[in-house]
Structure 1
Amino acid sequence: MNPAARRVQRIYLTLLLGNTLAASFIWGINMLFLLDAGLSNFEAFAANAFFTVGMVIFEIPTGVVADTIGRKASYLLGTITLSVTTGLYWMLWLWHAPFVWWAIVSVLLGLGFTFFSGAVEAWLVDALAFSRYTGSLEAVFGRGLVVTGIAMFTGSVLGGVIAQVTNLGVPFVLRAAVLIALFVFAAVVMKDIGFTPDRSAGPLKATRNVLAQSIEYGLKRRSVRYVMLAAPFASGVGFYAFYALQPYLLELYGDPSAYSVAGLAAAILSLSQVAGGMLAPRIRGLFALRTTAVIGASVISAVVLVVLGLNSLFWFAIALLMVWGFVFAVAGPVRQAYLNEMIPSEQRATVLSFDSLFGSLGGVFIQPALGRAADLGGYGTSLVIGGVVQLIGIPFLLASRRQRDPADNRTRQADPVPPLPDSPDQ
């Protein structure tokens, strides 16, 4: 890897490290935090669903920011928005606020994340191409998973321990502080290279253009469309399972106040993510097609959730959680590389945001539905149902595979494009 590409990768990995560390302070205790604020299971997962509603509403408008103002601007707006809304979440917990306020602030949290979705990934791919990187995208995304796994382990363990020795609100305060530090870091080192924002159109016209391009390069291209249509089922179930495992593990453990055990769930997933990220390029090499790896991981993930829901032993649940996290981590870089190689540079952030929108739609409907199932039949029953729901997305992945897109069997990144004449120097 040449020095310019190495610098791009370092910045990308640092941003991932900081973002994940900030987020993971609360990942291990988020459900317990909401329940402690007086919400029911249904209301807690409905609050999470409103978060994904915010992502659905704002994906396209924030895509305009990334593709017309710049990917750096989009990232900076995301960090400051998430810092403020995280502080508001903490205040709602202090006040034991009614559900309607949780819904409103959750939508605003979704706004913060939409500034990230697509923008940072698009920045990376374009900057690597500009820097004449010729390695595989799976390798870079795999390293990203390793870094985020380490950050997730550190943050989730610390968050659980800090919550236990102080209270459930302190990890949220720490998250807001780290996000502010990231804002300063990105403002200094992040530059839009290999990409020139199109600022010729006004905001309304730009929004229409972004939507049109999302359809043209996303939904109208069958190989991309079917991957997007599978996203709601995998993402919706994944969102639910991640948060439901916190109280479910405490239930199996037998101590509802052992917050460090809840943090253990996120920590185990993080270690599985590190292993998956390291091995993703090698495992990808075992399959002729990228879609085969993604489909296989989806089937294993669904089966593990069903077995996890039927299980009643705490330590066996821990082992199953490790398997679930590992296959999820292996599939991620392969899916990312597959999508990125099918999308033109000029529309990359737009289409990736559109893909994120589809994933968020699954969270809007599947999370509260499974939360209601947990209220009626317990967390185990809801996980079994979630595993079955995830299987619905597999026929779409098979349909994408049947399109025989060149990106499906490519083992190396596409030929790098020449530097743009008006792109800033590194």
Structure 2
Amino acid sequence: MDVPRRVRWQYYVYRVTNSMGFYVPVSVIYLLHRGYGLEYIGLLQAVFSVSLLVAEVPSGYLGDRLGRRRTLAVGSLLRAAGLLGYVVVDFAAGYLLLKICFGVGWAFRSGNRDAWLYDVLDSYGDTACFARVDSRASTALLLASAGGALAGGVLYGLDPALPFLVNGTVALLGLPVLAAMPDGSGDHGDNPVTVRTAVDTLRAQTRRPEVRWVVAYTVVLFLVFDLTRTFEQPALDAIGVSTAGMGVLYAAFKLVSAGAAAAVGQIQETLGTRRSLLLAAPLVGLSYAAIAVVPLAVVPALFLYRSLRVVIRPIRNQYLNDRLADVGRATVLSGVSMVLSLAGAFARVGGGAVANRTGPLLFLAGAGVTLSLSAGLLWIAVSPVRPAAPGDVVASADD
């Protein structure tokens, strides 16, 4: 049975309301212009990661227990509050509180969003199209973010608070869209998800090599992405890119990422899950090594990392979803995000101190090369992508 077009478009529109396009291109520059250094900015990003970490498993549990649509709505409200707070907050502790609010809101969205989509597709017997539908939604999100990035630079020039005000409003628009969406939570009948079930499910999944090692491999790669996102604006500032120029550049980032997202289905069909993930490590290593030799190479490296990120995420989540039961799916996916958040928090705190000494360009070059080599060694040692265990139902065409 085909998934109704109405349901797919509701999901696409909801994803568009998740856009951070107005805010992201100026988020770090905004703080730098107010006298905050890279160490404080690294601390803020670490606080975001820790907040995400603490909220991840509870958010997945609530999604499994109370309904994913309701949990997604809470996430929209919290993200809106974290953005709109920039309009009135202008002190260090206040920004920390906003990051906590934003991090918790992000957690309420992460695992639940993917679990909701997979459950809805499963109800129509079409889970094999998960990566394709998710990547199309990512394309819509990135195109909207490209427009937002262009507008964000202009709005910042008019009033630095405007990008945050507009982006917070966009997040609030997700509420009526969610109200029209199907809930997507499966009926667990006589086996409702409890806290004990959630903990037991996480423990059981981490013992499975086919789950554990693909998570570990992608965590290492996503650390490159997390560190880059934190320090890319200072790096661009170091090569002379203006605030308005960053808006244009971020719009271009989004457009290229949108193209990559639209190609996910074709990439997965052509290369398969194994080769798609394997090629990511050497591509990252080579592009970031070039920054140490030619500082301007940071620009193509930023284009590449964004493209790889939007390709890797749906392929990884398709792989994991195919190996997870409906009961506790959001909990497990939130657990994956929890691991990413924990690793990112440590990396950002340490990264801020190192970047202050080496400069953002040399730091990004060193971090990218080191982490891509680590990912390559992990692949050689444990072969992360493995066939499904007996009893798993795999919809992917190629593992």
Match of 1:281 in 2: 265
Q: Does 1:154 align with 2:147?
A: yes
- What is the CA-CA distance between 1:412 and the residue it aligns to? 4.2
TM-score between the two structures when normalised by the length of structure 1: 0.85
User: Any conservation in 2 of the 1:150–1:271 contact (CA below 8 Å)?
Assistant: yes
SS at match of 2:36: coil
Q: Does 1:173 align with 2:173?
A: no
Match of 1:17 in 2: 16
| Partner Cα separation in structure 2 for residue 408 and residue 269 of structure 1 | 36
Aligned residues: 395
User: Any conservation in 2 of the 1:78–1:113 contact (CA below 8 Å)?
Assistant: yes
- What is the CA-CA distance between 1:57 and the residue it aligns to? 0.8
User: Which deviates the most, 5-14 or 167-176?
Assistant: 5-14
Per-residue CA distance 1:342-376 (angstroms, 9 max, x = gap): 11122211111000111111210111222222210
| Partner Cα separation in structure 2 for residue 247 and residue 45 of structure 1 | 12
From the superposition, tell whether residues 402 and 200 of structure 1 become closer, same or farther in structure 2 (CA, over 3 Å).
closer
- What is the CA-CA distance between 1:176 and the residue it aligns to? 1.4
Q: Does 1:220 align with 2:201?
A: no
| Partner Cα separation in structure 1 for residue 173 and residue 257 of structure 2 | 25
Q: Does 1:105 align with 2:85?
A: no
Per-residue CA distance 1:142-184 (angstroms, 9 max, x = gap): 21221122022111111112112x1221111111111222112
1:237 to 221, 224, 234: 224
| Partner Cα separation in structure 2 for residue 363 and residue 134 of structure 1 | 30
| Partner Cα separation in structure 2 for residue 105 and residue 198 of structure 1 | 39
User: Any conservation in 2 of the 1:130–1:194 contact (CA below 8 Å)?
Assistant: no
Superposition pairs of residues 6-405 of structure 1, within 5 angstroms: 6-20=5-19, 23-92=20-89, 95=90, 97-98=91-92, 100-133=93-126, 135-164=128-157, 166-187=158-179, 189-193=180-184, 195-196=186-187, 206-216=194-204, 218-253=205-240, 258-287=242-271, 289-313=272-296, 316-391=297-372, 392-397=374-379, 399-401=382-384, 403-405=386-388
User: Any conservation in 1 of the 2:21–2:152 contact (CA below 8 Å)?
Assistant: yes
Give unmatched runs, 5+ long, in structure 2. none
From the superposition, tell whether residues 183 and 400 of structure 1 become closer, same or farther in structure 2 (CA, over 3 Å).
farther
Give unmatched runs, 5+ long, in structure 1. 415-426
SS at match of 1:344: coil
User: Any conservation in 1 of the 2:38–2:352 contact (CA below 8 Å)?
Assistant: yes
User: Any conservation in 1 of the 2:147–2:251 contact (CA below 8 Å)?
Assistant: yes
- What is the CA-CA distance between 1:408 and the residue it aligns to? 12
| Partner Cα separation in structure 1 for residue 281 and residue 4 of structure 2 | 32
| Partner Cα separation in structure 1 for residue 104 and residue 167 of structure 2 | 17
| Partner Cα separation in structure 2 for residue 62 and residue 325 of structure 1 | 26
RMSD between aligned alpha carbons? 2.6
Paired letter, 1:39: Y
SS at match of 2:159: coil
From the superposition, tell whether residues 404 and 395 of structure 1 become closer, same or farther in structure 2 (CA, over 3 Å).
farther
Paired letter, 1:362: A
User: Any conservation in 1 of the 2:217–2:384 contact (CA below 8 Å)?
Assistant: no
Paired letter, 2:270: L
